[in-house]
Amino acid sequence: MADANPVPQDTAPRGVPPHLHEVLPWVPRSGRRSEVSEYTASIPPEIASVRLAASPELVDASRQALVDIAVLERTYADQVTTLEPFLLRTEAIASSRIEEELTTVDQLARAQHGISAPRAARTVKGAIDGLALLVRRATDGVELDDILAAHRPLMADDPEEKWDAGALRTVQNWIGGSNRSPAGAVHVPPGHERVPGLMRDLIAFMRRDDLDPVLHAAVAHAQFESIHPFTDGNGRLGRSLINALWRYRGVTTRMAVPVASAIVADRGHYFELVNGYRAGDVESFAIYLADATSRAATEAAVSAGRLVRLPEEWRDVVRPRRGSATAAMLQLLPAHPIVDAYDVARLTGVSQARAYAAIERLVDAQVLRPITQSRRDMTWAAGDVLDEADLMVDRLHRLHRD
């Protein structure tokens, strides 16, 4: 029986060829006269069967990254109910910051709790939901339907892009330059007619199992960015593919790696390396991804240790009565950092009145802080848990500067 994922012959060229280009006519959607009549679009190569060889430097960097991921997961797997939501939230926040989609942890907490929040916060929540969906489905391999499904929550609250959520683009898009035409753009992706075929090729590439996992993820991500298959949201969804691919390859089994938290500290260099991939330089971006992954996994372990220790630290400050709702909530807050009175009553099995009393005590001890103003939907958050995402990114920024 033929191998479902054939390894290319040794005589095949090593590496991803540079993108080709084609000149296409430019017709503005407005129908008005444009400053250009034609433009040059890239044509990414097909990569399903491309032969890739990792250099000794990349092999070493990748091995270290995989060890750091394994240490993170093995050490903290028992706290997965606490850490997985934190890591997903941290990754989505950082990935959105790379695209300059900014929100605060409290605004995001409101969005996650279903309370009125700014559009940016709702968009980051969509990124969390899309990432979680994609990684959850990736165990047996990523399909196009999974990518489309992950794109829907990402764009669902965008007033202009929500109509195209979950659908491959049917128009030309571009990165940088003018909003009017592709003139002066940093990258002009392939014409939309090429997108379905290129995505089929990418899905086939992602199903391979003969490649170094970091190199595999680097090429999959860079190729996705080159195709730019959606009208918007490509960067965030493309970075989600890294964790999805690693779940398929067995690099992770229970956690996502917040690699975007390291990338956001050096986003300019990251963009340069992704652009370099289009010229055929795979190695530089793969080594960068390995290093960013090691840094992210190491700092995520620091954050994980802090989150695990929080209940004991809170207990020393609050000194609750044993068996009380307050004592119970100290143990539950790392996994449930956003709560209202109904949540506290449900989680601890006490009355609403006792739930409010427990909340008041935790607010007085600065374990909880209010994230809403209205008395009708009052909600609180464990600040130490939410703020850890920003603290982790700050540590990675300092590491990058040093």
Round to whole Å and give the CA distance between 92 and 239.
9
Angle between the N-to-C axes of helices 80-98 and 119-137, in degrees from 0 to 180, rounded to the nearest 10? 120
Please answer whether residues 203 and 143 qualify as being in contact, where contact means their C-beta atoms are separated by less than 8 angstroms: yes
Query: What pLDDT, on the 0 to 100 scale, is given for residue 39?
Result: 94
Q: DSSP for 21-63?
A: EEEEE---TT-S--S-SEEEEEEPPP-TT-B----HHHHHHHH
Cα–Cα distances in angstroms (integers) from residue 197 to residues 168, 336, 343, in the given order = 11, 43, 47
Round to whole Å and give the CA distance between 386 and 21.
46
> pLDDT grade, residue 398 (50/70/90)?
confident
306-324 exposure pattern, b = at least 16 Cβ within 10 A, e = fewer: bbbebbeebeeebebeeeb
> pLDDT grade, residue 36 (50/70/90)?
confident
Query: What pLDDT, on the 0 to 100 scale, is given for residue 33?
Result: 67
Name the token pair of 208. Answer: 């391979």
Q: How many CA atoms lie within 13 A of 51 on its CB side?
A: 8
| Residue from 187, 216, 228, 336 carrying the catalytic annotation | 228
CATH (one of 1.10.10.10, 2.60.120.200, 3.50.50.60, 3.40.50.720) for 318-401: 1.10.10.10
Name the token pair of 191. Answer: 């014409």
Q: Per residue in 131-182, pLDDT tens?
A: 999 999 999 999 999 999 999 999 988 878 888 899 999 999 999 988 888 9
Residue 206 pLDDT exceeds 90: yes
Residue type, 346: R
Task: For residue 43, list its beta bridge partners.
Answer: 20
User: Which has more pLDDT, 265 or 401?
Assistant: 265
Query: What pLDDT, on the 0 to 100 scale, is given for residue 162?
Result: 83
Question: Residue 5, Cβ neighbours under 10 Å: how many?
Answer: 13
Round to whole Å and give the CA distance between 135 and 259.
14
Collapsing DSSP states into helix, strand and coil, what is residue 265? Answer: helix
Kindly calculate the radius of gyration of the chain based on its CA atoms and give it in whole angstroms. 23
Question: What backbone phi and psi angles, to 5 degrees, belong to 262?
Answer: -80, -35
Q: Which residues have CB under 8 Å from 336's CB, separation 6+?
A: 343, 347
Q: Per residue in 301-335, pLDDT tens?
A: 999 999 999 999 999 999 999 999 999 999 999 99
Cα–Cα distances in angstroms (integers) from residue 358 to residues 320, 325, 340, 363, in the given order = 9, 6, 11, 9
Average pLDDT over residues 333-361: 96
Q: Which residues have CB under 8 Å from 14's CB, separation 6+?
A: 51, 52, 53
Which element (helix H / strand E) includes 282? helix 282-318
Annotated binding site: 232-239
Residue type, 97: R
pLDDT > 70 fraction of the chain, expressed in percent and rounded: 95
> pLDDT grade, residue 30 (50/70/90)?
low
Average pLDDT, the chain: 91
Angle between the N-to-C axes of helices 119-137 and 234-249, in degrees from 0 to 180, rounded to the nearest 10? 30
Residue 10 pLDDT exceeds 60: no
Q: In what order do the strands lie in the sheet with 338-339?
A: 338-339, 380-382, 368-370
Residue 6 pLDDT exceeds 80: no
Q: Per residue in 214-255, pLDDT tens?
A: 999 999 999 999 999 999 999 999 999 999 999 999 999 988
Q: Per residue in 265-313, pLDDT tens?
A: 889 999 999 999 999 999 999 999 999 999 999 999 999 999 999 999 9
Average pLDDT over residues 194-208: 98
Annotated binding site for ATP: 232-239
Which element (helix H / strand E) includes 370? strand 368-370
Q: Distance from first CA to last CA of the chain, Å, rounded?
A: 54
* 346 secondary structure, DSSP code: H
pLDDT > 90 fraction of the chain, expressed in percent and rounded: 80
Residue 21 a catalytic site member: no
The angle subtended at Cα 24 by Cα 22 and Cα 25, nearest 5°, is 165
Cite the beta strand spans of 141-288 per DSSP E. Answer: none
Please answer whether residues 329 and 344 qualify as being in contact, where contact means their C-beta atoms are separated by less than 8 angstroms: yes
In the chain, where are the structural domains located? 20-301, 318-401
Round to whole Å and give the CA distance between 59 and 136.
28
Round to whole Å and give the CA distance between 367 and 28.
55
Q: Per residue in 91-122, pLDDT tens?
A: 999 999 999 888 899 999 999 999 999 999 99
Residue 11 pLDDT exceeds 50: no
Query: What pLDDT, on the 0 to 100 scale, is given for residue 249?
Result: 97
Question: What backbone phi and psi angles, to 5 degrees, belong to 310?
Answer: -55, -50
Name the token pair of 273. Answer: 């390396």
Question: Residue 97, Cβ neighbours under 10 Å: how many?
Answer: 19
Please answer whether residues 386 and 337 qualify as being in contact, where contact means their C-beta atoms are separated by less than 8 angstroms: yes
Query: What pLDDT, on the 0 to 100 scale, is given for residue 1?
Result: 37
Fold of 20-301: Fic-like fold (1.10.3290)
Q: Per residue in 352-373, pLDDT tens?
A: 999 999 999 999 999 999 999 8
